[in-house]
Amino acid sequence: MPAQRNITVIGGGVTGLATAYALLRDGHAVTLLERRDDVGQEASFANGGQLSYRYVHPLADAGVPRESVSWLLQAGSPISLRLRADPHQWRWMLAFLRACNSTTNARNSQILLQLALRSQDELTRWRSEGLKDFLWRQPGKLVVYRNAAKFRKAAAGISNPEREQVLSPAECARVEPAFAALAPRLAGGIFSPADEVADCYRFCLSLRDAMAAMPSFTLRHGQASLRQGTNGRCDVLVDGRTHETDLVVLAAGMGSRQMARAMGFDLPLYGLKGYSLTVASPAGTMPDVSVTDYDNRVVYARLGDALRIAAMVDIGARDNSINPRRIARLRDLAAKTLPRAGPYDTARPWAGLRPATPSGVPIIARTRAPNLLLNVGQGALGFTLSVGSALRVCDLVRGNVRGDAAPLTNAT
């Protein structure tokens, strides 16, 4: 057990909460700073609900730039791009394009897979020790493909046939009968029986409540900011007043970039806006298995007595406002795919900015400020990677890994 330290985690989303919980379990005194009145209010609130441990391929891949051109010219496409006179956007896009090759994708996919599987193992431990009430299930995940070439490429990339099973359209229908009507339009599917689903927001509340019972935990609400202190260290302020701490872990999602600029460096984060619908579906109409419609980039997950449907990537969005046309498109796709699970006009809409790096690999590292660590950039995999990312922070605090400073550019 490492010597106890006073550690401040900035950010009350799923990444920050998991980090705080892991550090508490490691014997540290932890203060969690959250600017909102409660935790899990932004990108963690109504995401897709999939704990997709084996399907963690980054968005940046060979063929994506060419495919994106057709998407951008198509109304209602899975990805939209709004170009702006913003140097940060252009730098991020250029770095993304450089990562769009099969070699880089394979390397980054392996990094994400290791982080995801570590997440799954540790979450199993946390649940066995009493962390509950977040609608966790292990129904498996089915990714269905309409395009034959994309299906063949996905099937060829499977390294463990026991963990990822290649299915015919008829077999897809048997695994998840709710999608049987879709079978004639499918090229096939890949089923990962060990993947899970859960409600990310409820998970945030479970972590909050579990930590509230620990005497070495403090949840403090207020506006956190950073400034350069003496000897290159990072000072933390809450509502303008100095907050004393030994170490700082920055895990504030998209807000991390602005805070880091005060320390003189620029985080390569960009907000990828995603959308979801939550519908109270009639009994017997929802899929039991978690399903991803790959070609439409739509995920379906049953969370208790509700169906969560999530989709879309808006590149260039600046806030969490809901685009009614995107929600209308999502309602239409859901109604065509699972018509009995409606009515979708009563579904609760949501939108959130997922903080993504160009490569899709999160930044979990030390910085040139000796007391500042980063845990940012999990993107659309925030829930899936949250626990593994938290353990990586614990490794850095213990000194069990090299913990080189993150290669960040200077803020301009």
Does pLDDT of 76 surpass 80? Answer: no
Which comes out higher in pLDDT, residue 332 or 78?
332
Using alpha carbons, select from 334, 314, 37 the residue that is nearest to residue 178.
Answer: 334
Residue extents of the structural domains in the chain: 73-99+136-196+270-356
Residue carrying structure tokens 């519908």: 279
What is the percent of the chain where pLDDT is above 70? 96
**CB-based burial label for 161 (10 Å; 0-12, 13-18, 19+):** exposed
Quote the CA–CA distance of 187 and 153 in Å, as a whole number: 12
What are the pLDDT digits (tens) for 291-341? 999 999 999 999 999 999 999 889 878 899 999 999 999 999 999 999 999
User: What pLDDT, on the 0 to 100 scale, is given for residue 411?
Assistant: 72
Torsion of CA 298, 312, 320, 323, to 10 degrees: -110
User: What pLDDT, on the 0 to 100 scale, is given for residue 72?
Assistant: 66
Residue carrying structure tokens 């956190």: 224
Bond before 339 cis per omega within 30 degrees: no
What are the pLDDT digits (tens) for 209-247? 999 999 999 999 999 999 999 999 999 999 999 999 999
Which comes out higher in pLDDT, residue 365 or 410?
365
Quote the CA–CA distance of 25 and 251 in Å, as a whole number: 18
User: What pLDDT, on the 0 to 100 scale, is given for residue 84?
Assistant: 86
Question: If you classify domain 73-99+136-196+270-356 with CATH, what class do you get?
Answer: alpha beta
What are the pLDDT digits (tens) for 8-33? 999 999 999 999 999 999 999 999 99
What are the pLDDT digits (tens) for 80-136? 888 888 999 999 999 999 999 999 999 999 999 999 999 999 999 999 999 999 999
Q: Largest Cα–Cα distance in the chain?
A: 66
What are the pLDDT digits (tens) for 362-389? 999 999 999 999 999 999 999 999 999 9
User: What pLDDT, on the 0 to 100 scale, is given for residue 400?
Assistant: 73
User: What pLDDT, on the 0 to 100 scale, is given for residue 181?
Assistant: 94
Rounded to the nearest integer, the mean pLDDT of the chain is 94
Does pLDDT of 1 surpass 60? Answer: no
With the C-alpha atoms ordered 290, 316, 77, 332, is the resulting torsion angle positive or negative?
positive
User: What pLDDT, on the 0 to 100 scale, is given for residue 345?
Assistant: 93
What are the pLDDT digits (tens) for 339-366? 999 999 999 999 999 999 999 999 999 9
Quote the CA–CA distance of 217 and 344 in Å, as a whole number: 41
What are the pLDDT digits (tens) for 240-278? 999 999 999 999 999 999 999 999 999 999 999 999 999
